Structure 1
């Protein structure tokens, strides 16, 4: 059980370091501003993707992201990462990824066969920022 305390310390240090990486207040409402671009304006994808919402990403952080996911009212609801399975299998690590909000109520991880922007099979890692976020992004 020595791993658990180490994991807690590492997670705390990661969150503390990430807190300095961006202005969380500026990301709470869409659009988040530079360097983020709206994914649907750059790729042939709908403006609102059921289950993910309206996505914004800094093109320099592709393919992993973070993708900032906003609900229909423009509220930041989730941070999404898209990590190609082939790159993970080949040993690529995605370290110190930014987060949209430091509040996370739940996390989903699931397979995606590929889509415009991240064509290769990949895992979606979705950090929901409040208990109602998943529902708001679903429709």
Structure 2
């Protein structure tokens, strides 16, 4: 129930907040964003996620901007430590990269380079569920 509450509250916050003025629809996003594969030991393209960009100052939580192989923004991802969820930490004002959010998913991850602690990927999809296949492979 707590997770559902977090996701619903986050979705409303994101829908109400237009995000940054900079156009982030196409990669590379520019500004302070850097390709994640240049910051930590990860491949350029992660199946299921895409090519990730982040502002190094916001690591490890994000937001991470995820792009398909054609460089189109498909999602904004946050990496929330399990300990924050278990501790009932309030997650407010999650930005959605200035794009409309179609739906939200949340997936457990045991840890990986850059975010070694167990965490959840909170994925704010900017594309319809059927279009998630753009980053599947």
User: Is the pair's TM-score, using the shorter chain for normalization, greater than 0.5?
Assistant: yes
Q: What are structure 2's unaligned runs of at least 5 residues?
A: 1-7
TM-score, length-normalised on structure 1?
Answer: 0.82
Mapped partners of 1:14, 1:124: distance in 2: 16
Contact kept? 1:53, 1:69, Cα under 8 Å? yes
TM-score, length-normalised on structure 2?
Answer: 0.83
Cα offset, 1:62, TM superposition: 2.0
Q: What are structure 1's unaligned runs of at least 5 residues?
A: 1-6
Aligned length: 128
Aligned to 1:27, the other structure's residue is in SS state coil
Q: RCO higher in 1 or 2 (8 Å CA, sep ≥ 6)?
A: 2
Mapped partners of 1:119, 1:30: distance in 2: 26
Aligned runs of 1:1-139 on 2, under 5 Å?
A: 11=12, 15-16=15-16, 18-19=17-18, 21-23=19-21, 26-131=23-128, 132-139=130-137
Larger Rg: 1
Aligned to 2:79, the other structure's residue is in SS state strand
Mapped partners of 1:105, 1:14: distance in 2: 11
RMSD (Å) for aligned C-alpha atoms: 2.1
Cα offset, 1:14, TM superposition: 5.1
